[in-house]
């Protein structure tokens, strides 16, 4: 949220002039027929993608030269909002004269960039980015029909965010490398989820196979497991594990060990004792909750000198961020 976000209703104001012109007068709108294909000496391909009930549907016509795989002519029909019409028109323009293999490489990002007036100003507001995704999908559909293959064969990786074309592997890698904890952080690092927001969580504009919230939870779980494995391996090999990197169980054991070795004997000598009730992570601190037993319980020193001695022992032996809290 910032100054520019406080007045809403500006979607249309954010369309580039090119988008507006294409909405008003699409250049490549229309149909191609078998007669057209005969005339040009090519093969007619008609591909449909989307559905009216989803709010977007596009039909792409290609006439392809079977000798060179070149797209000799292309046209479209579109049920959708103005940006869907403009995107489809631009996509058709970009297809013309390319081979089918080259056309498949055209993404919605190329389409959006081609509709910009200024190189650094987006052609459409973020939430309308999804309208250009349909243009990319229908190309793949047309190419799959022409080549007689499955649409999926053109995708070499799983795309989570269609608007920003961010893959599953990229998102997982970024989470792990930068220790990301929120979806907002993922968006900041990768742009995934910054546009139509469908890929963030279920219930958005369209149903997705993968959602950022699930990927984040799954990746964090993987990271946790990796951390546990690493800690166990280190322990097995007798390697010194820093207190910060220990698992909770390892921390409790280390605290108990330090108390047994350096604290308990002095308390017992005075007819007292102590036990650890709980250990909790609290931001940067590890809080150790203890209970005094025997003579220590109710002793005047238990909240001053004795407590200080226990805490400073643990700080010195294990971690300076340990706090001891008597209950």
Partner 1 sequence: MKVYLDNNATTMVDPEVKAAMDPYFCEIYGNPNSLHDFGTASHPALRRAMDQMYEAIGARDEDDIVVTSCATESNNWVLKGIYYDLIQNGEKDHIITTEVEHPSVTAVCRWLEEQGVRVTYLPVNGDGIVEAHTVRDFITDKTALVSVMWANNETGAVFPIEAISEVCKEKGVLLHTDGVQAVGKIPVDVIRAGVDFMSFSAHKFHGPKGVGGLYIRNGHPLTSLLHGGEHMGGRRSGTLNVPGIVGMGKAMELANYYLKFEEEHVRRLRDKLEDAILEIPDTYSVGPRENRTPNTVLVSVRGVEGEAMLWDLNRAGIAASTGSACASEDLEANPIMVAVGADNELAHTAVRLSLSRFTTEEEIDYTIEQFKKAVERLRAISSTYAYMPENMKEQQGSACKA
Question: Which residues are at the interface with partner 1 (CB under 8 A)?
Answer: 8-9, 11-12, 23-24, 26, 29, 48, 52-59, 76-82, 84-85, 127-128, 130-131, 196-198, 204-205
Instruction: Read off the tokens for 294.
Output: 């025997």
Place of tokens 């591909």: 47
User: Does the active-site annotation cover 54?
Assistant: yes
Nearer residue to partner 1 within complex by CB, 11 or 248? 11
By beta-carbon proximity to partner 1, the closer residue of 88 and 107 is: 88
Backbone angles phi, psi at 144, to 5 degrees: -65, -35
In three-state form (DSSP H/G/I as H, E/B as E, the rest C), the secondary structure along 43-112 is EEEEEEEEEHHHCEEEEEEEEECCCCCEEEEEEEEEECCHHHHHHHHHHHHHHCCCEHHHHHCCCHHHHH
Residue 206 is given by DSSP the state: S
Contact 176, 223 (CB under 8 A): yes
Of the residues 81, 95, 131, 161, only one is catalytic, namely 131
Of residues 122 and 204, the one with the C-beta less far from partner 1: 204
Is 95 a residue of the active site?
no
24 vs 297, which CB is nearer to partner 1? 24
Closest approach of Cβ 134 to partner 1, in Å?
10
Give me the least distance between CB of 127 and partner 1, in Å please: 6
Cβ of residue 8: shortest distance to partner 1, in angstroms?
Answer: 6
Going by C-alpha positions, the residue among 285, 284, 302 that lies closest to residue 293 is 302
Shortest spacing between CB 91 and partner 1, in angstroms? 13
> Which residues are the active-site residues?
54, 131
């Amino acid at each position: 949220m910032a100054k520019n976000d406080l007045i809403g209703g500006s979607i249309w104001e954010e369309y580039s002039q090119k988008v507006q012109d294409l909405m008003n007068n699409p250049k490549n709108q229309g149909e191609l027929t078998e007669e057209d294909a005969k005339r040009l000496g090519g093969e007619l391909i008609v591909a449909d993608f989307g559905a009216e009930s989803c709010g977007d549907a596009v039909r792409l016509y290609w006439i392809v030269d079977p000798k060179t795989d070149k797209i000799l002519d292309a046209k479209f029909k579109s049920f959708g909002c103005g940006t869907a019409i403009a995107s489809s028109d631009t996509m058709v323009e970009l297809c013309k004269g390319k081979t089918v293999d080259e056309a498949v490489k055209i993404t919605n990002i190329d389409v959006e960039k081609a509709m910009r007036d200024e190189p650094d100003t987006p052609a459409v507001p973020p939430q309308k980015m999804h309208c250009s995704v349909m243009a990319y999908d229908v190309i793949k559909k047309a190419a799959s029909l022409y080549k007689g293959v499955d649409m999926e064969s053109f995708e070499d990786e799983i795309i989570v965010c269609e608007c920003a074309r961010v893959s599953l592997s990229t998102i997982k890698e970024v989470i792990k490398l930068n220790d990301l904890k929120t979806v907002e952080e993922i968006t900041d690092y990768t742009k995934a989820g910054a546009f139509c927001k469908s890929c963030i969580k279920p219930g958005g504009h369209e149903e997705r196979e993968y959602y950022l919230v699930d990927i984040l939870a799954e990746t964090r779980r993987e990271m946790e497991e990796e951390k546990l494995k690493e800690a166990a391996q280190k322990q097995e090999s007798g390697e010194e594990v820093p207190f910060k990197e220990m698992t909770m169980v390892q921390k409790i054991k280390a605290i108990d060990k330090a108390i047994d070795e350096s604290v308990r004997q002095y308390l017992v000598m005075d007819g007292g004792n102590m036990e650890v009730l709980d250990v909790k992570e609290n931001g940067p601190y590890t809080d150790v909750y203890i209970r005094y037993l025997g003579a220590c319980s109710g002793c005047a020193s238990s909240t001053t000198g004795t407590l200080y001695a226990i805490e400073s022992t643990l700080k010195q032996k294990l971690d300076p961020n340990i706090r001891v809290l008597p209950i």
